[in-house]
Structure 1
Amino acid sequence: MPDQILKVLKVVFDAQIRAGEIPAFRGAIAAKVGLNHDLFHNHAPGSDQFIYRYPLIQYKRQGEQPMLLCLSEGVDEIHKYFEQRDWSINLSGRTLDMKIARLDLNQFTLQLGPQPQAYQINRWLALNQEKYRQYQALSGLTERVQLLERILTANILAFAKGVQWEVPGPIALRIQEILRENLVPYKAQKLMAFDLRFQTNVFLPRYIGLGGKVSVGFGTVKPLRPDANFKTSNR
């Protein structure tokens, strides 16, 4: 299928959380609806076994406010949270009431465009252990950028597969500028993260995650110019 309509729901709550609390935010929401609903946490019910798939419910912050981004089936699944009589969650020893500050329900056209679209991705976890070794072994900036371009292209394909969009042609992608490369804390680890700008012929929805740990706010994508492919209903 050449183009596809993707449902996108963004919910911002009237509360404040720290960046390091996003994994706990995910855990609190998942516990609220019940761990048998695996789209909320991507673990097999009744075990710690991880389900390797693109997350359709992603937990983020907008400013300091907790935010949910739901895609495709995740838009329907999130109703299991809002069906609860009490939306409040316990986080780091405090109770958050989780009143809705903003709710945007969108339809986004997934497609390849004739002209490249410009994006910025923040806190992108591009490198697993094997790719990190490959990256460190490369001495030249050009070779490192080429490796990152291949990884980012693969991340876009993983997103497309996750929302069941068959990309109708080759993906063209070019990294234009690496803004930042640094180690970021995650649980007991330090992970290499990139902030960078890139262009691609793929139309990507605002706020989706690409790369590692996208379910907890890493690798968030934002277009650098307004995207006309949204049909939006704001509540």
Structure 2
Amino acid sequence: MTIKLPQTIITFPEIRLQTRDAHKLRGFFGNLFKEHSILLHNHFQDTGEFRQGYTLVQYKVLDHIPTLVGLGEGADLLVDLFLKIKHLEIDGHFFEVMAKNINHSVVDIGLSNSLFEYRFESLWMALNQNNYRDFIKATSDEQDVIFNRILKNNLLAFLNGMGCQLTKNEPIMCKFSLKKTRETNFKDNKMMGFQGSFMCNALLPNLIGLGKSVSRGYGTIIKI
């Protein structure tokens, strides 16, 4: 089963930031346009509670270029806001937007009879506190099983979140190939992130995020 999904990608090619600045992009845009939509910051203003479900507006710094990715309702929202973006302000630094690019398209997502290969362009935050304890105690083979189970759940979370409901006759097949393990600072805590690629039978859009904290740019994938 496949469905059509609107996707909007906005880039600012003349501005250079660090990968770690992605969450500052989220803070800037979430505050600048906070009256427009909860999708920009994922918090309900009246209660402060977190919006559940897959994140529809994601902030990334890819090859030092600030990048916004919107999906579904988030794609339409970014189209509406595109002309209103005149500057960025990150860590007290003011960047006038002299150039910006937008690409709005409709992409196919879902399961296929073919296999596709994807690469993580940013660290994949696969583990939480519970499976981290299981992971560090596991053998190499057991860690592979853990990786593949988590990746499958990440794929299911994305597809279900986008309205692509799978049946029992449509199993997800995936296999992750670890290239490197790195520590990263996440909300002032040291966390373990992973680099690598994976194969699966899911048709996925470029530049979406999988795993934890996709709104901050983690787990960004690209088809290879």
TM normalised by structure 1 equals 0.88
Q: Tell me how far 1:171 sits from its aligned partner.
A: 0.3
Look up the equivalent residue of 1:3 and give its one-letter code. Answer: T
Runs (4 or more) in structure 1 with deviation over 4 Å come to: none
Of 44-53 and 164-173, more deviation after overlay is shown by 44-53
Contact 1:11 1:100 in 2 (8 A): no
How far, CA to CA, are the matches of 2:192 and 2:99 in structure 1? 33
| Structure 2 unaligned regions, length at least 5 | none
State the match for 1:190 in structure 2. Answer: 190
The secondary structure found in structure 1 opposite 2:123 is strand
How far, CA to CA, are the matches of 2:44 and 2:30 in structure 1? 13
State the match for 1:95 in structure 2. Answer: 94
How far, CA to CA, are the matches of 2:187 and 2:103 in structure 1? 31
How far, CA to CA, are the matches of 2:172 and 2:98 in structure 1? 40
How far, CA to CA, are the matches of 1:108 and 1:79 in structure 2? 16
The secondary structure found in structure 2 opposite 1:124 is coil
Distance 1:81 1:36, change over 3 A: closer
Contact 1:36 1:46 in 2 (8 A): no
Number of equivalent positions: 220
Contact 1:11 1:69 in 2 (8 A): yes
Q: Tell me how far 1:79 sits from its aligned partner.
A: 4.0
How far, CA to CA, are the matches of 1:221 and 1:40 in structure 2? 21
State the match for 1:119 in structure 2. Answer: 118
Of 4-13 and 18-27, more deviation after overlay is shown by 18-27
Q: Tell me how far 1:83 sits from its aligned partner.
A: 5.4
Contact 1:22 1:217 in 2 (8 A): yes
CA RMSD of aligned residues (A): 1.6
Q: Tell me how far 1:167 sits from its aligned partner.
A: 2.7
Contact 1:207 1:220 in 2 (8 A): yes
Of 45-54 and 65-74, more deviation after overlay is shown by 45-54
How far, CA to CA, are the matches of 1:198 and 1:48 in structure 2? 36
Q: Tell me how far 1:55 sits from its aligned partner.
A: 0.6
Contact 1:37 1:45 in 2 (8 A): no
State the match for 2:30 in structure 1. Answer: 30
| Structure 1 unaligned regions, length at least 5 | 225-235
The secondary structure found in structure 2 opposite 1:123 is coil
